Structure 1
Amino acid sequence: MSELGLNTISFAGHAASSAQFRALYSEGMSLVEETAGYLDGQGRAASKVLPRMASVLYAAESMRLTTRLMQMASWLLLQRAVNNGEMSRDQVLAEKNKVRLDGFNVDRNAPGWNDLPESFRDLVERSLRLQNRVAILDREIYRPTEPAIVPDNQNSVKAQLTLLQTAFGGN
């Protein structure tokens, strides 16, 4: 049997090595720096005057925020390494398994959430949006591909035409 899909173009793979990725990388690393600066400065001062419930929530959410950003930074650095030829895709796959891009959601209805500083809540929201974009790109790049199997009695041109007809609803 011959297989289709061996010469297909991975748009996500190209996006991961494009100007779009460089912008995502820059945004992610800038958010890491901005968050670190906030938590060490303005956030530290703001957290000292929060009501008790908000103070406990701030401590928990700041740990989640830091963890979320470090996981994304790890993924971005791994992807940059593969883009620059510093690591093979297999090496990245082995390391990438240590990176979590999910499970850091926020309960915006938690007691004390609205008492948290607006700038802190903004950092949390921006990190969640970035996490979502990175997770989508990760799934697109690294999900297993399942090439279509072409029966022995069908040539590849006819198989491509059939796929196009199926995709675009032609007869």
Structure 2
Amino acid sequence: MNEPSIECGNTIRLAERRVFSQSSFKPLYDEGMGLVEQTAEYLDGQGRADARKLSRLAATLYAAESMRLTTRLMQVASWLLLQRAANSGEMTRDQVAAEKSKVRLDTASAREDAAGWGELPASFLDLVNRSLSLQALVRRMDDEIYGEHAHRPAPSRRSNPVSDQIMLLNTAFGR
């Protein structure tokens, strides 16, 4: 593995230190993979029951937000797996940089004032908010380490329902 340049001049790059140190990276990796597992368990179990109780409008929003949630978590998990491969010496940092270009860390969420949002189950909203926080952390770390996303605005709750639907269609069709 190529040795990370943790110091840049007099600046210590904390994200690199966290990602490329086994003891510092493991908690982040465990948090991300744990959230993926918790989300899958919820969506396959209690989430199905919760979704049946929703109004038609809220059920549609729940379905769309579920797709965004799983997409967001799969992208974060992909990033974490690539960093783990670099950390363990399975891949070089250059290989990781090339592969991570396929990973998108910008999956937004519907806005909280969207019609039906207030009906969504608290457990589901907790998973959505935790996934957004984790994505934001990973994105900041990615920016510091690789510097490719510095010019893009951070994802936020969308304020345009048309953009939400276009993004949902792009996600559904893998664009």
Q: CA deviation at 1:9?
A: 5.2
For structure 2, list consecutive stretches of 5 or more residues without a partner in the other structure: 1-7, 149-175
CA deviation vs aligned residue, 1:26-85 (integer Å, no higher than 9, x gap): 000000000000000000111011001100000000000000000000000000000111
| Percent identical | 62
Which residue does the alignment assign to 2:71? Answer: 67
Over alpha carbons, which structure has the higher Rg?
Answer: 1
Please state if 1:20 is matched with 2:31. Answer: no
Determine the C-alpha separation between the residues in 2 that align with 1:101 and 1:121.
19
The counterpart of 1:36, out of the listed 28, 35, 40, is 40
Larger RCO: Structure 1 or Structure 2 (Cα < 8 Å, ≥ 6 residues apart)? Answer: 1
Stretches (4+) displaced over 4 A:
5-9
For 1:97, give the aligned amino acid: S
CA deviation vs aligned residue, 1:129-165 (integer Å, no higher than 9, x gap): 0000000010111117xxxxxxxxxxxxxxxxxxxxx
Which residue does the alignment assign to 1:83? Answer: 87
Which residue does the alignment assign to 1:123? Answer: 127
**Residues matched between the structures, number:** 140
Which residue does the alignment assign to 2:169? Answer: none
For structure 1, list consecutive stretches of 5 or more residues without a partner in the other structure: 145-171
Q: CA deviation at 1:94?
A: 1.0
TM-score by length of 2: 0.75
Q: CA deviation at 1:95?
A: 0.7
TM-score by length of 1: 0.77
The answer (yes or no) to whether the contact 2:72–2:107 under 8 Å persists in 1 is no
